[in-house]
Amino acid sequence: MTGTPAIRLEGLTKRFRGGVTALEEIDLTVPKGSIFGFIGPNGAGKTTAIRLMLDLLRPTSGRVELLGENPRTAGSGLRSKIGYLPGEMGLDERLTARQTLSFYCDLHDTSAEKAFDLAARFGLDLDRRIRDLSRGNKQKVGIIQAFAHDPKLVILDEPTSGLDPILQRSFHGLLRERQEGGLTVFLSSHVLSELQQVATEVAMIRDGRLLAVRDTATMRREAPHKVMVRFASPPPDDLFEGLEGVSGIEYDGLVTRLLFRGEMDTLIKALATREVVELHSTEPDLEETFLRMYGEDAR
């Protein structure tokens, strides 16, 4: 993933009238071929950043490059390489899903057959009018139109909103397939578990400022495992003394609960000195790391 990045933001700042600063000096680089997560609480500035990238808003200062080009001046040539799903998509309620997708494909001068294939994959009834579709099915229409013209970059704002868990898995499968084909995905979400499943890197934003950019593997290593151990007999209070990475120990008779950060093999060897009846370890998730970095007010 070398060379020109898919997205480059340098000093991106947006201030609105009345002194409201939506974004402040955002520097961000998204490598080609990655699934890049953009996370933060509602009102953090995620959607504003996306609109600036797509030249739907103009920055107060700073610059944007998509696929090595300036979206303000590159014109339709660049736009044809980009798929976009807004957080709230306006659709003509009178049209059927088939007519809607055909319209978007005509805009990109591409066959609608790929869109119809994706519709079959997601179980979308193409012949129902938009006004008769559920929220989840309308979201399917939005997702399909973003991918149907084989873009080089897709920018998705809260794409799984309204999708049930089974369809979310299908959507994640689509992302991974397209990534293997060289697609870059910029995925904005406040659903942390979603990004944990699909993103290779995540950027965290709060109050219009970039907090951190981390790869998900590192974040998982830094987030503590929640461990529950049931012993055959009460363990000594000093069982974990000197063991690095252990914290939050709670003894309750035969059951011990703790947090562990590090290589599990180290913990297992310490436990092996006692007779263990039951052992549970909960995989770390991004949410714990996210909340630690943001502070409790991020809840």
pLDDT of residue 21: 92
Give 122-171 pLDDT, tens digit per residue.
Answer: 999 999 999 999 999 999 999 999 999 999 999 999 888 888 888 888 99
CA distances from 265 to 41, 126, 239, 261 (A): 35, 52, 16, 11
Give the Cα-Cα-Cα angle 133, 136, 139 (nearest 5 degrees). Answer: 90
Cβ partners under 8 Å of residue 120, min gap 6: none
In the predicted model, what is the mean pLDDT of residues 199-213?
Answer: 89
Q: Residue 59's pLDDT band (boundaries 50, 70, 90)?
A: very high
Tell me how far apart the alpha carbons of residues 231 and 273 are, in angstroms, rounded to a whole number: 11
At residue 297, does pLDDT exceed 50?
no
Mean pLDDT for the chain overall = 89
135 to 9, 105, 140, 165: CA distances (angstroms): 33, 22, 9, 14
Fold held by 224-283: Alpha-Beta Plaits (3.30.70)
**Tens digit of each residue's pLDDT (9 = 90 or more) over 166-198:** 888 899 999 999 999 999 999 998 777 778 788
CATH class of 7-220: alpha beta
Could you give the 3-state DSSP secondary structure of residue 222?
Answer: helix
Residue 291 pLDDT greater than 90, yes or no:
no
CA distance 86 to 50: 9
Q: Which of 82-86, 143-147, 221-225 has the lowest mean pLDDT?
A: 221-225
Helix H segments across the chain?
A: 46-53, 76-79, 97-107, 113-122, 135-147, 165-180, 192-198, 216-222, 264-271, 286-294
What is residue 8's predicted lDDT score, i.e. its pLDDT?
A: 97
Domain boundaries, the chain: 7-220, 224-283
Cβ neighbours, 10 Å, residue 231: 19
